[in-house]
Structure 1
Amino acid sequence: MNFKASSATLNKAKPYKYKKQMTPTQIIRWTVLFLGGVAMIMPIVFMMSTSFKWPHEIYNLKIIPDEPTLDNYAYVLEDGRFYKWFINSLIIATITTISAVIFDSLVGYTLCKFRFRGRMIVFVAILSTLMIPTEMLVIPWYLMAKDFGWLNSYWGIMFPGVMTAFGTFLMKQFFESVPDDFLEAARIDGLNEFQIWWTVAMPLVTPAISALAIFVFLGNWTAFIWPLIVTNDPDLYTLPVGLTTFSVEQSVEWELIMTGAALATIPTLIVFLVFQRYIIRGVVMTGLKG
């Protein structure tokens, strides 16, 4: 009986799991990742901290202010210009994102699913533009905007981003995962090429569309150099450009700039939270294809 009881007790006992010790390589890897994460987060932490500080506390490196205040937020939100800049950025980023998704997907679909002479030459030419620094394109863009009469206009700010080489490459790579049999079946059903692209191919690459939309939106939402160059009309200022008006000749009101920057992160945070599952799915699909 005692033997049986002991056997039952042993059977119920859970096997001991030895904890796997981290190797020196893993320790170094996690340490580097941790330090990298801290380096990326600290600017955001100091931005939020500065937005709650009084002017005399700006150069105090304390993360938690001695006398937190909401006066900076009240001042910025009561300034009517902030809402104008916010709306301008929202309009420009939204329209540019929609245009980039449409044009990049059209070009990517064409380069992927149609066979024509010079197709690879066009694709390589588009990819080659990725090697050109944006700063080198500012002067040609400005001359184009001047010749077409787009200076001091929404279109002048938006036109460089309505189509992107990276977006074309991304969409082409994802369209390669769409089976040609689906497209042939749609042609047999009587759909034209535009209908096939819109109703068959596009729904199958939703992760790529979402990822591209986020990249383009964030890129245009945070754009500074080009909107600063192409317009000098305060009514057309985007949020990053408008925040510079808090700087005066003798001083810079960092507390107001950081407050505006903190408020400007709200739309980007919302966009990421809404579409993050599509980004993750897109990364996974890209890894599987690679």
Structure 2
Amino acid sequence: MTHAPQDRAQQQLFDRQALAARRARRQADALFLHHMARDEAEDRLSLVNRTFTAPAVVCPFPEVWEGFQLDAKIVSDADVLELEQGAHDVVIHAMCLHWANDPVGQLIQCRRALKEDGLLLVILLGGQTLHELRAAMAEAETAVLGGLSPRVAPMGEIRDLGGLLQRAGFALPVADLVPLTAEYRDLTHLIHDLRGMGETNALAQRLKRPAPRSLFQLADHIYRAHFATANGRLPATFEMVCLTGWSPSDNQQKPLRPGSAQMRLADALKVPETKLGP
């Protein structure tokens, strides 16, 4: 059974056209998360015992990645990535997978763009991101509007995100996170920063009408009552998740088959073997 383009659009979690409009209004001084993602990528690549000569970076803001490694190809974040098959030895997918309607499809495209035994590094926002804002807005919206509407995009937990690499066919997948906390004067200050980094609501099912001012006033009060720091600032959590995986290769290390060990553990540790049980 086929579906019309309009039907497919209705099934999308994110409104990519609205997302593009929000990103177009970005402000350079609000892109600190993206600069931190670049620093994180540079640090992690420096720890890999390999020289990469054909890197590619998938990102929403190319200016952040200017001058990154030699001849790095900068690729716009889109449903279909402009990546040539087998052309790169490392692909960095930076700060945009959490906006993908098909995240596994994005990773598969990256795997196809990698040479054999090439590295994928993904940096995205994870499930604890803005949990304070989510809680405050949910409570305020229930009180003011009598129910909830889609306002803050759902983000994956680290265990689920690590599983995406396996689904996309990557070998040796690893997932870890870098928790970050920023502090703001008030809710208006936080929302201003989110707008400046293009991270405000682009959910397809979001309410299109403006929210009443009283909603944000109450949300600020709730946020402050539950989460304010000792000096009266509002903390905002940004959970940066880092995923790494390798395109399959016959030369990669593989786990031993069960029962194939050539030495007993006691011998390897040079300790007497202890018998358990009667």
TM-score band w.r.t. shorter chain: under 0.3
TM-score, normalization: structure 2?
0.21
| Greater relative contact order (CA < 8 Å, ≥ 6 in sequence) | 1
Select the structure that is richer in helix: 1
Greater C-alpha Rg: 1
Select the structure that is richer in strand: 2
